[in-house]
């Protein structure tokens, strides 16, 4: 996924909603459970894309460091999160 653009959904389209992480998580969950198709053309009919944000290749090292920090925090909190 590194190097791929991040697509920002607009609040228009078949699934009008606020543009936040919860909306995206809900879409991914619905796709994973088979309630929504994962085919790009099906998704395009439901979601209006407002913008595509391209990652800055010059920040790859920074992204990698931050992702490693995220992974270590996630591992440290695994027991707490499983409650």
**Nearest residue to 51 via CA among 3, 5, 4:** 5
- pLDDT at residue 19, rounded to an integer: 59
Read off the pLDDT of residues 43-76 as tens digits, 9 standing for 90 and up: 777 777 788 888 888 998 998 999 999 999 999 9
pTM for this entry:
0.45
Helix/strand number for the chain, H first, E second? 4, 2
Alpha-carbon gap, residue 62 to 72, rounded angstroms? 15
pLDDT at 14 (0 to 100): 57
């Amino acid at each position: 996924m590194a190097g791929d653009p991040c697509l920002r959904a607009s609040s228009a389209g078949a699934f009008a909603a606020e543009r936040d992480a919860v909306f995206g998580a809900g879409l991914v969950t619905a796709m994973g459970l088979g309630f929504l198709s994962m085919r790009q053309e099906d998704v395009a009919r439901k979601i209006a894309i407002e913008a595509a944000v391209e990652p800055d290749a010059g920040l790859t090292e920074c992204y990698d460091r931050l992702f490693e920090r995220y992974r270590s925090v996630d591992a440290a909190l695994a027991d707490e999160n499983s409650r």
